[in-house]
Protein backbone atom coordinates (compact mmCIF):
# COMPACT_ATOMS: atom_id res chain seq x y z
CA UNK A 1 0.00 0.00 0.00
CA UNK A 2 1.35 3.38 -1.01
CA UNK A 3 0.18 6.36 1.00
CA UNK A 4 -0.53 9.68 -0.68
CA UNK A 5 0.21 11.40 2.61
CA UNK A 6 1.01 10.51 6.20
CA UNK A 7 0.27 12.35 9.40
CA UNK A 8 3.42 13.75 10.98
CA UNK A 9 3.01 13.97 14.74
CA UNK A 10 5.44 16.81 15.47
CA UNK A 11 4.10 19.02 12.67
CA UNK A 12 0.49 18.03 13.37
CA UNK A 13 -0.07 17.94 9.66
CA UNK A 14 -0.27 15.59 6.71
CA UNK A 15 2.75 15.46 4.46
CA UNK A 16 3.52 13.76 1.20
CA UNK A 17 6.77 11.82 1.01
CA UNK A 18 8.05 14.63 -1.23
CA UNK A 19 7.32 17.18 1.50
CA UNK A 20 9.31 14.94 3.84
CA UNK A 21 12.25 14.79 1.45
CA UNK A 22 12.14 18.56 1.02
CA UNK A 23 12.21 19.03 4.80
CA UNK A 24 15.01 16.51 5.27
CA UNK A 25 17.29 18.40 2.90
CA UNK A 26 16.25 21.89 4.04
CA UNK A 27 19.07 23.26 6.17
CA UNK A 28 16.88 26.02 7.59
CA UNK A 29 14.55 23.65 9.43
CA UNK A 30 15.23 21.08 12.09
CA UNK A 31 13.73 17.96 10.60
CA UNK A 32 14.95 14.40 10.19
CA UNK A 33 12.41 11.88 9.00
CA UNK A 34 14.34 9.10 10.70
CA UNK A 35 13.46 10.69 14.03
CA UNK A 36 9.95 11.83 13.16
CA UNK A 37 6.88 9.70 13.65
CA UNK A 38 4.33 9.21 10.88
CA UNK A 39 0.86 7.76 11.11
CA UNK A 40 -2.07 6.77 8.94
CA UNK A 41 -3.55 9.82 7.16
CA UNK A 42 -7.07 8.58 7.92
CA UNK A 43 -7.93 10.59 11.05
CA UNK A 44 -10.35 8.03 12.44
CA UNK A 45 -7.81 5.30 12.03
CA UNK A 46 -4.93 7.32 13.43
CA UNK A 47 -6.77 8.42 16.56
CA UNK A 48 -7.90 4.86 17.26
CA UNK A 49 -4.32 3.88 18.10
CA UNK A 50 -1.50 5.40 20.11
CA UNK A 51 1.53 7.19 18.69
CA UNK A 52 3.52 3.96 18.53
CA UNK A 53 1.35 2.71 15.65
CA UNK A 54 3.38 4.29 12.89
CA UNK A 55 4.31 4.14 9.25
CA UNK A 56 7.72 3.77 7.67
CA UNK A 57 9.31 5.71 4.84
CA UNK A 58 11.08 4.56 1.70
CA UNK A 59 13.66 6.73 -0.07
CA UNK A 60 12.97 9.68 2.22
CA UNK A 61 16.61 10.69 2.56
CA UNK A 62 18.33 9.38 -0.52
CA UNK A 63 19.44 12.31 -2.72
CA UNK A 64 19.83 10.22 -5.86
CA UNK A 65 16.89 7.84 -5.81
CA UNK A 66 15.59 5.64 -8.57
CA UNK A 67 12.65 3.81 -7.05
CA UNK A 68 9.57 5.86 -6.21
CA UNK A 69 9.66 7.23 -2.64
CA UNK A 70 6.67 6.43 -0.42
CA UNK A 71 5.29 5.82 3.05
CA UNK A 72 4.65 2.22 3.88
CA UNK A 73 3.09 0.03 6.52
CA UNK A 74 5.57 -1.44 8.95
CA UNK A 75 5.21 -5.13 9.82
CA UNK A 76 3.25 -4.24 12.95
CA UNK A 77 1.20 -1.31 11.64
CA UNK A 78 -2.48 -1.67 12.44
CA UNK A 79 -5.48 0.02 10.82
CA UNK A 80 -9.12 0.12 11.81
CA UNK A 81 -11.54 -1.99 9.87
CA UNK A 82 -12.55 -0.25 6.68
CA UNK A 83 -9.51 2.01 6.57
CA UNK A 84 -8.48 2.46 2.96
CA UNK A 85 -4.85 2.02 3.93
CA UNK A 86 -5.14 -1.51 5.26
CA UNK A 87 -2.30 -3.46 3.79
CA UNK A 88 -3.36 -6.05 1.28
CA UNK A 89 -0.18 -7.90 1.97
CA UNK A 90 -0.81 -11.42 3.17
CA UNK A 91 1.25 -12.82 6.02
CA UNK A 92 2.92 -15.14 3.53
CA UNK A 93 4.35 -12.24 1.56
CA UNK A 94 5.40 -10.37 4.69
CA UNK A 95 8.74 -8.74 4.20
CA UNK A 96 8.50 -8.76 0.44
CA UNK A 97 8.62 -5.33 -1.17
CA UNK A 98 5.21 -4.96 -2.73
CA UNK A 99 5.15 -1.16 -2.98
CA UNK A 100 7.64 -0.95 -5.79
CA UNK A 101 5.29 0.47 -8.41
CA UNK A 102 5.02 3.86 -10.08
CA UNK A 103 3.79 6.99 -8.33
CA UNK A 104 0.00 6.75 -8.25
CA UNK A 105 -0.84 10.05 -6.60
CA UNK A 106 -0.77 12.75 -9.24
CA UNK A 107 -0.91 16.25 -7.82
CA UNK A 108 -3.27 18.37 -9.90
CA UNK A 109 -1.31 21.53 -9.17
CA UNK A 110 2.28 22.52 -8.53
CA UNK A 111 2.15 25.49 -6.19
CA UNK A 112 4.92 27.96 -6.86
CA UNK A 113 4.89 29.27 -3.32
CA UNK A 114 6.60 26.95 -0.93
CA UNK A 115 4.54 25.32 1.74
CA UNK A 116 5.20 26.53 5.30
CA UNK A 117 5.34 24.12 8.18
CA UNK A 118 4.71 25.04 11.77
CA UNK A 119 5.96 22.66 14.40
CA UNK A 120 3.46 21.75 17.06
CA UNK A 121 4.57 23.23 20.40
CA UNK A 122 5.63 20.45 22.70
CA UNK A 123 3.21 19.82 25.56
CA UNK A 124 4.24 22.15 28.37
CA UNK A 125 5.39 20.38 31.51
CA UNK A 126 3.17 21.21 34.48
CA UNK A 127 4.94 23.77 36.61
CA UNK A 128 4.23 22.91 40.27
CA UNK A 129 5.60 26.23 41.51
CA UNK A 130 3.47 28.34 39.25
CA UNK A 131 0.91 30.48 41.06
CA UNK A 132 -2.56 29.05 40.70
CA UNK A 133 -4.08 32.19 39.32
CA UNK A 134 -1.64 32.40 36.42
CA UNK A 135 -3.62 32.31 33.22
CA UNK A 136 -3.34 29.01 31.48
CA UNK A 137 -1.81 28.97 28.03
CA UNK A 138 -4.67 29.33 25.64
CA UNK A 139 -6.09 25.92 25.02
CA UNK A 140 -7.27 26.96 21.63
CA UNK A 141 -3.75 26.99 20.15
CA UNK A 142 -3.54 23.24 19.93
CA UNK A 143 -7.14 22.58 18.99
CA UNK A 144 -7.55 25.20 16.30
CA UNK A 145 -8.92 23.59 13.20
CA UNK A 146 -6.65 23.98 10.27
CA UNK A 147 -8.35 26.22 7.80
CA UNK A 148 -8.69 24.79 4.34
CA UNK A 149 -5.40 25.71 2.82
CA UNK A 150 -3.78 25.21 -0.51
CA UNK A 151 -2.05 22.15 0.83
CA UNK A 152 -4.79 19.69 -0.01
CA UNK A 153 -3.28 16.34 -0.93
CA UNK A 154 -3.82 16.95 -4.62
CA UNK A 155 -1.58 19.99 -4.61
CA UNK A 156 2.12 20.09 -3.98
CA UNK A 157 4.85 22.67 -3.83
CA UNK A 158 7.60 20.11 -4.35
CA UNK A 159 8.69 19.87 -7.99
CA UNK A 160 10.02 16.33 -7.51
CA UNK A 161 6.46 15.07 -7.05
CA UNK A 162 5.03 15.77 -10.53
CA UNK A 163 8.41 14.80 -12.00
CA UNK A 164 8.20 11.41 -10.30
CA UNK A 165 4.63 10.98 -11.60
CA UNK A 166 5.83 11.66 -15.13
CA UNK A 167 8.97 9.56 -14.94
CA UNK A 168 7.57 6.50 -13.20
CA UNK A 169 4.51 6.40 -15.49
CA UNK A 170 6.40 7.24 -18.65
CA UNK A 171 5.29 4.08 -20.43
CA UNK A 172 1.62 4.78 -19.73
CA UNK A 173 1.06 7.54 -22.28
CA UNK A 174 -2.74 7.36 -21.91
CA UNK A 175 -2.51 7.96 -18.19
CA UNK A 176 -0.18 10.93 -18.69
CA UNK A 177 -2.60 12.33 -21.26
CA UNK A 178 -5.49 11.92 -18.85
CA UNK A 179 -4.01 13.46 -15.71
CA UNK A 180 -4.21 17.26 -15.49
CA UNK A 181 -1.50 19.48 -14.08
CA UNK A 182 -1.80 23.16 -13.26
CA UNK A 183 1.13 25.48 -12.70
CA UNK A 184 0.43 29.18 -12.31
CA UNK A 185 -2.31 30.03 -14.80
CA UNK A 186 -1.49 27.20 -17.17
CA UNK A 187 -3.25 23.84 -17.14
CA UNK A 188 -2.36 20.91 -19.37
CA UNK A 189 -2.10 17.16 -19.14
CA UNK A 190 1.06 15.73 -17.66
CA UNK A 191 1.82 14.44 -21.14
CA UNK A 192 1.87 17.92 -22.65
CA UNK A 193 3.17 19.88 -19.67
CA UNK A 194 6.41 17.91 -19.80
CA UNK A 195 8.11 19.01 -22.99
CA UNK A 196 11.15 17.45 -24.54
CA UNK A 197 13.89 20.06 -24.64
CA UNK A 198 14.26 19.81 -28.44
CA UNK A 199 10.67 21.02 -28.84
CA UNK A 200 10.94 23.98 -26.49
CA UNK A 201 9.83 26.37 -29.24
CA UNK A 202 6.38 24.78 -29.24
CA UNK A 203 5.26 26.59 -26.14
CA UNK A 204 6.74 28.76 -23.41
CA UNK A 205 6.41 28.16 -19.71
CA UNK A 206 6.38 24.36 -19.68
CA UNK A 207 8.46 21.82 -17.80
CA UNK A 208 11.35 21.08 -20.14
CA UNK A 209 13.38 17.95 -19.89
CA UNK A 210 16.06 16.08 -21.71
CA UNK A 211 19.08 13.88 -21.47
CA UNK A 212 22.23 15.58 -20.25
CA UNK A 213 25.22 15.56 -22.55
CA UNK A 214 27.67 17.25 -20.18
CA UNK A 215 27.86 19.37 -17.07
CA UNK A 216 30.54 22.05 -17.04
CA UNK A 217 31.89 23.45 -13.81
CA UNK A 218 32.84 27.12 -14.27
CA UNK A 219 34.02 29.71 -11.75
CA UNK A 220 30.66 31.28 -11.12
CA UNK A 221 28.25 28.77 -12.59
CA UNK A 222 27.49 25.28 -13.76
CA UNK A 223 26.33 24.73 -17.32
CA UNK A 224 24.09 21.83 -18.24
CA UNK A 225 24.37 20.84 -21.90
CA UNK A 226 21.58 18.80 -23.40
CA UNK A 227 22.14 16.00 -25.86
CA UNK A 228 19.34 16.95 -28.25
CA UNK A 229 19.46 20.06 -30.39
CA UNK A 230 16.76 22.55 -31.26
CA UNK A 231 16.03 23.11 -34.93
CA UNK A 232 15.47 26.72 -35.90
CA UNK A 233 15.52 28.08 -39.46
CA UNK A 234 16.55 24.64 -40.66
CA UNK A 235 19.66 24.69 -38.50
CA UNK A 236 20.41 22.73 -35.33
CA UNK A 237 21.32 24.65 -32.18
CA UNK A 238 22.69 23.38 -28.90
CA UNK A 239 20.63 23.90 -25.74
CA UNK A 240 21.95 24.63 -22.28
CA UNK A 241 20.94 26.10 -18.94
CA UNK A 242 23.14 27.91 -16.44
CA UNK A 243 23.04 27.56 -12.67
CA UNK A 244 24.64 30.40 -10.81
CA UNK A 245 26.90 29.28 -7.96
CA UNK A 246 25.72 32.26 -5.97
CA UNK A 247 22.18 30.92 -6.23
CA UNK A 248 23.36 27.53 -4.97
CA UNK A 249 25.34 29.06 -2.09
CA UNK A 250 22.21 30.76 -0.83
CA UNK A 251 19.95 27.80 -1.40
CA UNK A 252 18.25 26.30 1.65
CA UNK A 253 19.02 22.82 0.32
CA UNK A 254 22.60 23.71 -0.63
CA UNK A 255 24.27 20.53 0.63
CA UNK A 256 21.84 18.15 -1.03
CA UNK A 257 21.93 20.18 -4.24
CA UNK A 258 25.72 20.16 -4.42
CA UNK A 259 25.69 16.43 -3.73
CA UNK A 260 23.22 15.98 -6.59
CA UNK A 261 25.19 18.03 -9.10
CA UNK A 262 28.66 16.87 -8.05
CA UNK A 263 27.68 13.23 -8.30
CA UNK A 264 26.27 14.02 -11.74
CA UNK A 265 29.47 15.63 -13.03
CA UNK A 266 31.62 13.00 -14.59
CA UNK A 267 29.08 10.31 -13.82
CA UNK A 268 28.77 7.39 -16.19
CA UNK A 269 25.06 7.21 -15.43
CA UNK A 270 22.53 8.42 -17.97
CA UNK A 271 21.12 11.55 -16.41
CA UNK A 272 18.16 13.71 -17.25
CA UNK A 273 17.44 17.28 -16.32
CA UNK A 274 13.96 18.67 -15.58
CA UNK A 275 13.29 22.32 -15.03
CA UNK A 276 10.46 24.81 -14.86
CA UNK A 277 10.41 28.60 -14.81
CA UNK A 278 12.64 29.49 -17.73
CA UNK A 279 12.42 28.86 -21.46
CA UNK A 280 15.86 28.82 -23.10
CA UNK A 281 16.08 31.36 -25.92
CA UNK A 282 18.31 31.77 -28.93
CA UNK A 283 21.36 33.83 -28.04
CA UNK A 284 24.42 34.75 -29.99
CA UNK A 285 27.60 34.33 -28.02
CA UNK A 286 31.21 34.97 -29.03
CA UNK A 287 33.16 31.98 -30.19
CA UNK A 288 36.09 31.02 -27.97
CA UNK A 289 38.39 30.14 -30.83
CA UNK A 290 37.52 33.17 -32.86
CA UNK A 291 36.09 35.99 -30.70
CA UNK A 292 35.07 38.01 -33.75
CA UNK A 293 32.60 35.33 -34.64
CA UNK A 294 29.49 34.46 -32.76
CA UNK A 295 27.46 31.29 -32.71
CA UNK A 296 23.88 30.68 -31.77
CA UNK A 297 22.76 28.63 -28.81
CA UNK A 298 19.47 28.22 -26.95
CA UNK A 299 20.28 29.16 -23.41
CA UNK A 300 18.55 30.05 -20.16
CA UNK A 301 19.41 30.89 -16.56
CA UNK A 302 17.77 28.83 -13.86
CA UNK A 303 16.25 31.24 -11.37
CA UNK A 304 14.75 28.92 -8.79
CA UNK A 305 16.56 25.75 -7.76
CA UNK A 306 13.34 24.41 -6.29
CA UNK A 307 12.20 23.86 -9.85
CA UNK A 308 15.27 22.09 -11.15
CA UNK A 309 16.16 18.41 -10.93
CA UNK A 310 18.92 16.17 -12.23
CA UNK A 311 18.13 12.52 -11.95
CA UNK A 312 18.52 9.08 -13.32
CA UNK A 313 15.54 7.65 -15.18
CA UNK A 314 16.03 3.99 -16.02
CA UNK A 315 14.32 2.92 -19.18
CA UNK A 316 13.57 6.42 -20.40
CA UNK A 317 14.48 7.30 -23.94
CA UNK A 318 15.71 10.85 -24.26
ZN1 LIG B 1 -5.41 3.51 8.58
Ligand 1 mean position, distance from CA 26 (Å) = 29
Distance 161 CA to ligand 1 centre (A): 23
- Name which of 3-12, 124-133, 208-217, 307-316 the model is least confident about: 124-133
Distance between Cα 318 and ligand 1 center (Å): 40
Residue 26 lies inside a defined structural domain of this protein? no
In a domain, 303, yes or no: yes
- 213 found inside a domain: yes
Whether residue 251 lies inside any domain: the answer is yes
Say yes or no to pLDDT of 150 above 50.
Answer: no
In a domain, 281, yes or no: yes
**pLDDT bucket at 85, cuts 50 / 70 / 90:** confident
11-15, 115-119, 178-182, 295-299: least confidently modelled range = 115-119
| Host domain of residue 231 | 195-312
pLDDT band at 20 (very low <50, low <70, confident <90, very high): very high
174 phi/psi in degrees, rounded to 5: -65, -40
Half-sphere exposure of 120 (CA within 13 A, CB side): 18
Per-residue confidence band for 97, with pLDDT thresholds at 50, 70 and 90: very low
In the reported structure, the alpha carbon of residue 229 is separated from the centroid of ligand 1 by a whole-number distance in angstroms of: 49
How many domains would you assign to the chain?
A: 1
171 Cα–ligand 1 center, Å: 31
Q: Is residue 120 situated within a structural domain?
A: no
Q: Does residue 52 lie in a domain region?
A: no
Q: What is the pLDDT of residue 289?
A: 84
Q: How far is the CA of 158 from the centre of ligand 1 (A)?
A: 25
Q: What is the distance in angstroms between the CA of the first residue and the CA of the last residue of the chain?
A: 31
Query: Ligand 1 center to residue 1 CA distance, Å?
Result: 11
Q: Greater confidence, 95 or 191?
A: 191
Give me the CATH number covering residue 223.
2.40.50
pTM for this prediction: 0.87
Calculate what percentage of the chain has a pLDDT beyond 70: 85
Q: Let me know if residue 146 belongs to a domain.
A: no
Least confident of 57-66, 95-104, 209-218, 261-270: 95-104
From residue 64, alpha-carbon distances to 90, 99, 185, 241, 263 in Å are 31, 19, 31, 21, 9
| Torsion angles phi and psi, residue 194, rounded to 5 | -90, 115
State the distance from the centre of ligand 1 to the C-alpha of 311, rounded, in angstroms.
33
Amino acid sequence: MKFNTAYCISLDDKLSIYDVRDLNFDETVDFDSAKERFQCPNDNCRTAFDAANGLGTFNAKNVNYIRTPHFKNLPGTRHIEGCAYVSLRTPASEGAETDDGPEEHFPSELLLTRRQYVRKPSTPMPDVDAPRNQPKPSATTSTTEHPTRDTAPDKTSVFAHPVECFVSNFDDKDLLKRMPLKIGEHTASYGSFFKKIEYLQDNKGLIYWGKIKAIKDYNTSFRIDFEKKVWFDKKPYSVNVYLSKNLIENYRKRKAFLEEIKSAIGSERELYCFFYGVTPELKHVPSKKNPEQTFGVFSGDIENLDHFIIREVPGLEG
